[in-house]
Structure 1
Amino acid sequence: MRIQRTAMALVLALSFMGAGLHCSQDKGQGVSGEYQVQGSNPDGSPYRGTVQITRDGDAYKFEWNIAGQQYSGVGVREGDTLTVDWGQQDPVVYQVQDDGNRLVGSWAAGQANEELNR
């Protein structure tokens, strides 16, 4: 009985330590910051601009400036996928690459693409 309690305490302690390590790694810069935007619209026309990404709890706020137009959205990251609702029918879905220095995404149901680079 005593061995079981000790083993259970050890398992719980290691679980909490692992959770702490995961949280501390996630609290770094991650994908927060300013990026250069390059993409193509559903009609194939290119666009460029910037986006500022700010972490807000478990979500990320996006503020795009594309050719003088302002757009905003809120995203949620699950693993290396970052899905951003920006008020349109389809979200922007990014794949996080290069430790968050590059995000490659698509929008308009895959008919348009966008790349963000620090």
Structure 2
Amino acid sequence: MKRVFLAALLALSLALPAAAQRSGTYDVTGRNPDGTDYTGTLLLTQIGLSTFRVQWVIGQDEIEGVAMVSGLTFATAFTLGEQTGMGIYQLQPDGSLVGVWTTAGAFAQGEETARPR
């Protein structure tokens, strides 16, 4: 019985990081690396235990990528035009994501907050 309980506890602890983040639509506010502000939406769709499909709509732009959650860290990889981008966010107690992003080879980074609807 003790082994069954420990196995169940281990399985639950492995599932908790993904459970801490949820699929859904988020309202996004951010600042581009050049200092201009933007707003839009982010759609998160869980596709694995700790992986998500991410889709931003910022103005006329649709940006797609993937993400992984580990503890309270949410890491993204996406394409922005011809460039590869990446972001690192921290999950906040209210369910929002606050982080920074950049594109490969850039010398600046953007900031972004995504709040669940």
TM-score, length basis structure 1: 0.78
Higher strand residue share = 2
The aligned amino acid for 1:75 is A
Task: Report whether the alignment pairs 1:62 with 2:54.
Answer: yes
2:74 aligns to what SS in structure 1?
Answer: strand
Distance 1:25 1:90, change over 3 A: closer
The answer as to whether partners of 2:18 and 2:69 remain within 8 angstroms in 1 is no
Give the match for residue 93 of structure 1. 88
Q: CA RMSD in A?
A: 2.3
After TM superposition, the structure 1 = structure 2 runs for residues 3-14 of structure 1, keeping only pairs within 5 Å, are: 10=2, 12-14=3-5
Poorly superposed stretches of 4+, deviation over 2 Å: 19-31, 87-90
Q: Looking at both structures, which has the greater relative contact order when contacts are Cα pairs under 8 Å and sequence separation is at least 6? A: 2
Count the aligned residue pairs.
108
Q: Distance in 2 between matches of 1:69 and 1:90?
A: 14
| Greater mean deviation of Cα atoms: 22-31 or 61-70 | 22-31
Q: Distance in 1 between matches of 2:89 and 2:17?
A: 18
Q: Distance in 1 between matches of 2:92 and 2:42?
A: 17
Higher helix residue share = 1
TM-fit CA distance, 1:17: 2.0
Question: What percentage of residue pairs aligned between the two structures are identical?
Answer: 31
The answer as to whether partners of 2:76 and 2:88 remain within 8 angstroms in 1 is yes
TM-fit CA distance, 1:64: 0.4
- Of 92, 110, 116, the match for 1:112: 110
TM-fit CA distance, 1:72: 0.5
Distance 1:78 1:26, change over 3 A: closer
> Which one has a bigger Cα radius of gyration?
1
TM-fit CA distance, 1:15: 1.8
Q: Where does structure 1 lack aligned partners over 5 or more consecutive residues? A: 1-8
1:42 aligns to what SS in structure 2?
Answer: coil
Distance 1:77 1:28, change over 3 A: closer
Task: Report whether the alignment pairs 1:102 with 2:96.
Answer: yes
Q: Where does structure 2 lack aligned partners over 5 or more consecutive residues? A: none
